[in-house]
Amino acid sequence: TPSPTPTPTPTPSPTPTPPPAVLRTLYVATTGNDAGPGTLSAPWRTIGKAASSALPGDLIYIRAGTYEPFSLRRSGSVTNPIILAGYPGDAARPIIDGRNVIPFVVDVGFVHDVQLRRLEVTGGYAERQNGGGVLVNNSTRVVVRESVLHDNSAYGIRSYQSTYVTIQANDIYGNGQGVDVRYAGEGTAVLDNLVHDQDRMMVNTVGGNDDTGAQGIGFVKSTGAALAQGNRLWNNRAASYDYGLDGGAFEIYAASNVTIADNTVWDSHNVLETGTDGIMDCTNNVFARNVAWDGNDATRTVGLVLRCAKDMLVTQNTFIELDHWIYDINTNSTSFSGKIDGLRIINNLNVMDEGKIYGLGRGIPLDTMVIDYNLDHNPGRVIASVDGYGNAMTTAQLTAWTGKQAHGVNSAPAFYDAAARDYTLMPGSAGIDRGAIVPVWSDGYRGSAPDIGRYEMQ
């Protein structure tokens, strides 16, 4: 698997708060005894004992070894969270194994101010979309960090009806879906994770158009402001009865106020898919400053499937040689389509060597949409398929038919080192100073205008 470079630069984070106070340090080890005091010399045997004994400010170290699943129903405080962590002196993380007989291996429910660090969680199992590694349920200010979440039947981690959940710097693989943020979601941040090889379906039935699975990071019916940033996603796909193959890097389903920024995607079934149940809109979502490429000639990686994108902003992204299309904009699905009024696609760098860049489907509200200031390069091939017109082979033809891309560029971009995945524009590139000002996302540009694509030439 190729390694992505360069590393995306995340947007500035808030000033960090002081480290939490530790009031007690307790220990769990496979050689311990739950009748003991939980000290380094006389540790407890089970994580369940530690979880049921925890008080605000406790730091609970778990020694290497394999442990039974556990639930946590105790809370910390903002200044004194409860922390359960792998012991830093051990070479391996402690393994919490559901052995495929329990729905969720680690169940954190109805709590606040809890942190899980340096754990390995595996073996959660339930039918369909009902099991996984870590469940954060009806909780707030929960952190899951530096852990390995793998080989669970459904989710690596699910945040359900929760707020201010931080999922950071984890290695998440081999699940039906890596990360699931479902309902609520305000303040949730999915940051700097490796999300790869989700290789199984959660629902895979013959007929019914209901298959789902092999997704990297998904937002489902969440409404609060949520963020996915700085993640690397690759090889997320699985065989599907309904679709042949299914899965992908990101999914937004009937969710609003989601920002997906500064991520790197390659060799996944798609980059982003949006849809809805027809009841809830997908409103005010942002897809910005991401980089995506194919990376595997033996598999399919398509771009953005936009069926539900009301007032969505797609800006400052770089897309390189995907398969079939970069933007598939349509409302022709009887099951998943919603409103796409107010969609804006601005300042993106689009390079293809097959297929098309834009697919503008039947009945979409083009008069409400902005598609402009993008650099399009697909030499000798289709720039856009436009329902009612045909295939536009040039940006000028697309503009004549639709008015879109009036300030667009149709040219080779000239990268510093595309072979090494350095997609910074070289001096003299047609994309330099050709973008529009997009507040927040083009801030800090150099020259007379923003550059097109993810990277501003320095």
111 and 139 in contact (C-beta within 8 Å)? yes
Q: Provide the CA 352 distance to its chain's centre, in angstroms.
A: 23
193 and 171 in contact (C-beta within 8 Å)? yes
* Residue 267 in tokens: 């060799």
Identify whether 346 is part of a domain: yes
Identify whether 237 is part of a domain: yes
Q: Which value, to the nearest 10 degrees, does the dihedral of the CA atoms of residues 185, 188, 189, 193 take?
A: -70
Identify whether 173 is part of a domain: yes
In this prediction, what percent of the chain has a pLDDT beyond 90? 80
Residue among 82, 80, 75 nearest 112 (CA): 75
CATH number for the domain including 357?
2.160.20.10
pLDDT digits (tens, 9 = 90+) for 14-58: 555 566 667 899 999 999 999 999 999 999 999 999 999 999 999
Identify whether 312 is part of a domain: yes
How confident is the model over 394-412, as a mean pLDDT?
Answer: 96
Q: How confident is the model at residue 126 (pLDDT cuts 50, 70, 90)?
A: confident
- Range(s) of the domain holding residue 364: 62-378
pLDDT of residue 278: 82
How confident is the model over 433-440, as a mean pLDDT?
Answer: 98
Identify whether 55 is part of a domain: no
CB atoms within 10 A of CB 176: 27
How confident is the model over 366-381, as a mean pLDDT?
Answer: 97
Residue among 362, 369, 268, 281 nearest 323 (CA): 268
CA distance 196 to 192: 13
pLDDT digits (tens, 9 = 90+) for 253-266: 999 999 999 999 99
Identify whether 17 is part of a domain: no
Structural domain count, the chain: 1
**pLDDT surpasses 90 at 389:** yes
pLDDT of residue 241: 62
57 and 80 in contact (C-beta within 8 Å)? yes
Q: What is the DSSP string of 314-369?
A: EES-EEES-SS-SEEE----TTT----TT-EEES-EEE-SSSEEEEE-TT--GGG-
Q: How confident is the model at residue 244 (pLDDT cuts 50, 70, 90)?
A: low
Name the pTM for this structure: 0.92
CA distance 283 to 115: 31
CA distance 31 to 108: 25
Identify whether 451 is part of a domain: no
Identify whether 37 is part of a domain: no
